[in-house]
Structure 1
């Protein structure tokens, strides 16, 4: 009944509208005949015959600018080509997205609404990997290789996963004079899922991956200083500018790879040959009970006319200028005294230094990748910096508390600091483990391939200098080395496949050497 009534009412509305339009058409005056060139027609009936009246110049309508659309779906490149964003906005967006490993930054879909611009980016990633030991989840990073005298050290493992798939949004506010505001929120599926075989099944781990925050920050750019506040790459090591091309997931053995919450101030002094970037950041401390933020600072030289093609991880390929970066880190620890029921505390200061470089050995230009060769590397040393490496704690732990009375159970020290950062030795001295790491990578685009194929190789190493000072040397790792060769190919601008072989040597503090062979196939669909 309601449907019939609604249809009837709609019909009446249509008829009324048609009748109104017909009536308006019937009562309207007849259209004037077209004006001859150079004048307008006098439509006064008394003027017979029709006479030509000159058109006053003042009555010529001025051209009206085309209105800017309130809403639209486009790309950053189209917005720049049409002048809807300034060159500065365009370059800032490209830089942000390239630093976030967005492979198709310029052509990623961008929504415009009332001056706001939101760019959707990311990729679908699938991986298949084989390891000769049962040491790792779906990425090896700095996790220990199983000792050769164990079951896990003598048997292999094959895995397949999509957990590194990513999706992100870059949001840009309407620009103001001398102020450009933007922000990013990015997620992937590497959120905590549990330990396979104890707290989660294999099927649950690989199939029901958990979403997590990867980046979330706001940025304000001015002619004087740029401000970044939120969850982003650590300034230490000038991440991500010196990530190598790899198939194995970052961070590799001995590769700085970390993100955290920070307030960063920076400025770039620009000249035609060289840019100088300086930055300082107050960072979330590695131990919150220290009650003091961590400090990071750095300076970076960029040689604008010395360029090569560089790929960070396997997802962000861009023409990149040669650069050298120096950075430092300062962190403070306050931990409970070495007792079962502590009342006082002990303090210590950790620090680190990093030197990084990207050097095009055979330079390249924007329109040519073929036969270009580049080198990337970093050297890092410091105390209590292992949390800025993926999965690295070195196996170090606190010594057992003294138990002179032989009490059962024995007293236990409860740490308030993440594993490997600050530990007590058998003498009750608070120690900050000292690490030195390095990484060197080469990347080559062979000729006659149109830039669709690249070859790469990487070698890296981490060293714990005071490995012999910690209890349980069968778990403490003295040093670890990583070697990798591989290639990637682009069947289309939106698709990339990579394949590699890697070898890892892990030497424990008791002299036992554990090794792992790995092969990995990866595929990406970029958007």
Structure 2
């Protein structure tokens, strides 16, 4: 069950969209729904390409866009006991700012040459691992016979038995450039980072080697549209993680790809 309400105020130059919702909370059998709200502003005459697929699969260009969104949620978790008789509460929240900025606007889907587009997202919040994909391996402290009534990675108990949210700050930035004259050859790069300010202090020492507190990802891509339906590309990917015990893990990967749109 959910309730949503939204409205778009449109004009030739600027569109403003507002929305609010009461949606399914992250915790099963929660007493309260999760509250969400957002506002998005689009400047219609400044156009960019929203993704690498734009132009080849018929995706349209998109306007210069800035968005703000947020959520608030309540947690009520069984106390840390093999036979809990009470619950303990915590409040989670998250805020995000997102933007699509055509640094060099695109002329049209067919004429993409010299178009340069930036997209970015910055998120900060508490108890929002499901929204940012940063469960990170975090779990509740080991306690024989105890099964928490909430998914791992959102909240946990500290050493004093107080329910704490696991906090995260994440961001994603992307650049895409379509080489002149036609844009059939283009390059794209992405960088993401996720960091928690408190997951280390909330992690049991026995789990320190399995829970990360910092993650970074980077890729660089070159694509070429052989035909309007066939795209080939080569990509480099790098992943870095730092765990609670300060050990690090790195991964390097190359990928050749081909896409057929029909």
Fold match by TM threshold 0.5 = yes
Counterparts of 2:219 and 2:84 in 1: how far apart (Å)? 47
Gaps of 5+ in 1: 1-260, 402-410
Instruction: Give how far 1:312 is off.
Output: 5.6
Count of matched residue pairs:
256
1:462 pairs with 194, 199, 205, which one?
194
Map of 1:522 onto structure 2? 257
Structure-to-structure mapping, 1:193-204, within 5 angstroms: none
> Is 1:424 aligned to residue 157 of structure 2?
yes
Instruction: Give how far 1:265 is off.
Output: 2.0
Map of 1:354 onto structure 2? 96
Instruction: Give how far 1:343 is off.
Output: 1.2
Counterparts of 2:164 and 2:195 in 1: how far apart (Å)? 16
Instruction: Give how far 1:274 is off.
Output: 0.8
Structure-to-structure mapping, 1:114-263, within 5 angstroms: 262-263=2-3
Secondary structure in 2 matching 1:420 = coil
Counterparts of 2:3 and 2:225 in 1: how far apart (Å)? 38
Instruction: Give how far 1:383 is off.
Output: 0.6
Map of 1:277 onto structure 2? 17
Map of 1:302 onto structure 2? 42
Note if contact 2:170-2:194 (Cα within 8 Å) is conserved in structure 1. yes
| CA RMSD of superposed structures (Å) | 1.8
Secondary structure in 1 matching 2:200 = helix
Counterparts of 2:152 and 2:136 in 1: how far apart (Å)? 9
Counterparts of 1:463 and 1:368 in 2: how far apart (Å)? 39
Map of 1:378 onto structure 2? 121
Map of 1:173 onto structure 2? none
Note if contact 2:132-2:170 (Cα within 8 Å) is conserved in structure 1. no
Counterparts of 1:267 and 1:320 in 2: how far apart (Å)? 19
Secondary structure in 2 matching 1:290 = coil
Note if contact 1:290-1:335 (Cα within 8 Å) is conserved in structure 2. no
Instruction: Give how far 1:319 is off.
Output: 1.2
2:213 pairs with 455, 469, 478, which one?
478
Map of 2:170 onto structure 1? 437
Cα gap change, 1:290 to 1:270, in 2 (>3 Å): same
Instruction: Give how far 1:313 is off.
Output: 6.7
Runs of 4 or more off by more than 6 Å in structure 1?
313-316
Larger helix fraction of residues = 1
> Is 1:491 aligned to residue 226 of structure 2?
yes
Choose 1 or 2 for highest CA Rg.
Answer: 1
Larger strand fraction of residues = 2
Counterparts of 1:311 and 1:433 in 2: how far apart (Å)? 31
Counterparts of 1:318 and 1:270 in 2: how far apart (Å)? 18
Note if contact 1:394-1:464 (Cα within 8 Å) is conserved in structure 2. no
**Taking structure 2 as the reference length, what is the TM-score of the superposition?**
0.91
Secondary structure in 2 matching 1:278 = strand
Secondary structure in 2 matching 1:339 = coil
Instruction: Give how far 1:486 is off.
Output: 0.2
Structure-to-structure mapping, 1:79-94, within 5 angstroms: none
Gaps of 5+ in 2: none
Cα gap change, 1:446 to 1:321, in 2 (>3 Å): same
Instruction: Give how far 1:271 is off.
Output: 1.5
- Superposed CA deviations along residues 439-472 of structure 1, whole A, max 9, x for unmatched, are 1110000002x23222101111000111321112
Structure-to-structure mapping, 1:440-451, within 5 angstroms: 440-448=173-181, 450-451=182-183
Counterparts of 1:262 and 1:440 in 2: how far apart (Å)? 31
- Superposed CA deviations along residues 460-509 of structure 1, whole A, max 9, x for unmatched, are 10001113211122122110111110022222222323321011110011
